Structures are given as C-alpha cells and as structure tokens.
Amino acid sequence: MVMTEVLDKLKALQEILAQKNIVEAEIEEAPKILSTQEELLARLKKGYIEKNDQYELVKKQITHLKAQLFEAETMRESSEKAMDNISTQREYEALDKEIREAGEREQNFRKEMQKEERLYAELDEQLKNEEALIKQQEDELTERKSKISHDIDELNKTLKKLITKEEKTIPGIHPETRFKLERIIKSKQGIGIVAIQGNVCNGCHMILPAQFANEVRIGNAILYCPYCSRILYYQENVEGEGDFFDEDDAGSLADLDDFSEEDEDDDDREEEASPAKMDYEE
C-alpha cells in the first residue's frame, strides 16, 4: 500500500475515532446527570424525614400540654367549688392560694400549647409542600431516566456503527500506528493528523528542521511531529507564501535529538516526541 493511501486511511480513521470518543464520552456522562438529581432527591427525603420527626415530637408535646392544662383547670375548678364549704379564714387563704397557683399554671400551659400549636401548623404546611416537591422530583427523575435510557440506546447504536466503520478502515494500517493515533486523538481534541506547510507544523505551529520536513514531503514513512506528536503529511504552500524551507530557522535533525534528551524523564512524550516513522511495504 502506497503512503498516500495509508494517509487517506488514517484521515478516515481519525474522523471515526474522534466521533467514537465523543459518543463514548456522552455515554459515560449521561448517568452522571441522573446521579446529581438522585442526590438532590435523597437530600429532600432526608430533610423531610427529619422535619417529620420534629412534627411528631411537637404533636406529642401538644398532647402532653393538653393533659397538664386539663389537670390545672380541674384543680382550679375543684378549689373554687370548695370555697362554698369553708368555715375559717385559714381555709379560705389556703384555697385562694390553690386557685391562684392553678390559674397561673393553666395560663402558662395554655400559652405554651398555643406556641406549640403554631409550630405544629407551620411544620404541617412545610411537610405538605415538601411532599409535593418530592413527588415532582420523583416524576421528573423517572421521566429523565426513561429519556436517558433511550438516548444511551441510540448512542450505543451509533457507537456500534462507528466500530463497524472502524473495522472496515483499519486493514492496511499498522497496529502500532493505529494505537498511537488513538492516543493522539484523545489527547489532542480529536486532531491527530495535520499538514506541514513550508516547514511549519499546522498542529502546534512549530518550525521543523529542513531535513525532517523534506522527509515528510517525500512521504516514504509515517512521521510524527517532534513537538506535538501528531502524524504529519505534506501540503503545498498557497502561491505567494514563500519558499518551502527556511534554512536559517529550520535547524537540523540533531536539534530534535537535543529536544528529546531534555524530555527523557517523560516516557510517553519521549516515545511520541521523537520523529518516529513506520515504513510500509507496497
């Protein structure tokens, strides 16, 4: 297979792989939307349970206060009736004190009960509102789950078609070249193959050594930009843009060796950064 055919296949594969990456990312992200809404619903339910517990405590407190109020009222009424049967001043003073104390307790219990009843009414209203909100969120979540499930099914169908296209495209492309292209496309926003014009890489806009740029122009092997790691192919300059090479600025392949030595600690970059090439037999 001649190099122009290989490059054409690589360009076609690049488009397929870029679309695959987008589809796979959408499939991965889709459930995260549900996760956020599920967390919100869980917080609403937790808050509702806590408020309902408070509601039940207030309800019990009101019942208790009613019993205490009834006891105070009964004691006051009993003491008032006993007034009709007293015969001494001392009995009068004792009963009068009982009536006053019972009346004070009665008033205190009544005020406290009114306070608790207002809180009870507020909590009751809040619970009804939260019940409605939770029901709304549950309905929306159910609807969204259905929609996302449908969307994921459609995305998987699209992904399956892309995989089929990929399998039809890869024959004739060296596995190592395909592996590198996949990595480059993922790290370079879907662009793994770029042209050089003159001796400038259109991917990173770096000036390439004249000797290296000339090898790209000749096109006997797959070559990678030593700066951005993209696969390179030659593209003629537009008329009037100047000569192909700038010998003063271009440097040599020895410059690329120096560049690789500076980055030897980064294994991945060292692998992709060197002007690696892959020969293809016709």
Of 156, 135, 110, whose CA–CA distance to 45 is shortest?
Answer: 135
**Distance from chain centroid for Cα 200:** 38
Distance CA 49, CA 62 (A): 20
Mean pLDDT of 93-113: 91
pLDDT at 9 over 50: yes
Examine the pLDDT at 189 and tell me if it is beyond 80.
yes
* Mean pLDDT rounded to a whole number for the chain: 84
Q: Is the CA virtual torsion 221, 226, 229, 233 positive or negative?
A: negative
pLDDT for res 238: 56
SS (H, E, C) 137-148: HHHHHHHHHHHH
pLDDT at residue 190 in the model: 86
- Using the predicted structure, report yes or no on whether residue 263 has a pLDDT greater than 90: no
Distance (Å, whole) CA 129 – CA 257: 70
Answering whether pTM is above 0.85, one says: no
**233 beta partners:** 195
State phi, psi for 217 to the nearest 5 degrees: -65, -40
Looking at residue 235, what is its pLDDT? 84
Query: In this prediction, what percent of the chain has a pLDDT beyond 90?
Result: 62
Q: How many CB atoms are located within 10 Å of the residue 187 CB?
A: 13
Ordered by start, the domain boundaries in the chain are: 19-169, 175-279
Any idea which of 37-51, 141-155, 244-258 has the lowest mean pLDDT? 244-258
List for the chain the helix, strand, coil content (%; round to 5).
Answer: 75, 5, 20
Cα–Cα distance between 179 and 267 in angstroms, integer? Answer: 16
User: Could you say which DSSP state residue 237 is in?
Assistant: P
Instruction: Please report the pLDDT score of residue 226 as a whole number.
Output: 93
CA 272, CA 260: separation in Å to the nearest integer? 10
Single out the residue of 203, 191, 242, 197 nearest to residue 216, CA to CA. 197
- pLDDT over 70 percentage in the chain: 83
Query: pLDDT (tens digit, 9 = 90+) per residue, 10-40?
Result: 999 999 999 999 999 999 988 888 888 899 9
- pLDDT for 36 equals 85
Q: How does pLDDT run across 205-259, given as a tens digit for each residue?
A: 999 999 999 999 998 899 999 999 999 999 876 554 444 444 444 444 444 444 3
Distance CA 16, CA 12 (A): 7
57 against 264, higher pLDDT? 57
Whole-angstrom CA distances from 162 to 93, 141, 169 are 100, 31, 10
CATH topology for 19-169 is Helix Hairpins (1.10.287)
More confident residue, 278 or 116: 116
Q: For 58-101, write each residue's pLDDT tens digit.
A: 999 999 999 999 999 998 898 888 888 888 888 888 888 989 99
Give the mean model confidence (pLDDT) for residues 105-119.
Answer: 94
For 117, the 3-state DSSP assignment is helix
> In 3D, which of 176, 267, 262, 258 has the Cα closest to residue 224?
176
Closest CA to 58 of 100, 112, 8: 112
Which of these, 207, 198, 248, 197, lies nearest to 227 by C-alpha position? 207
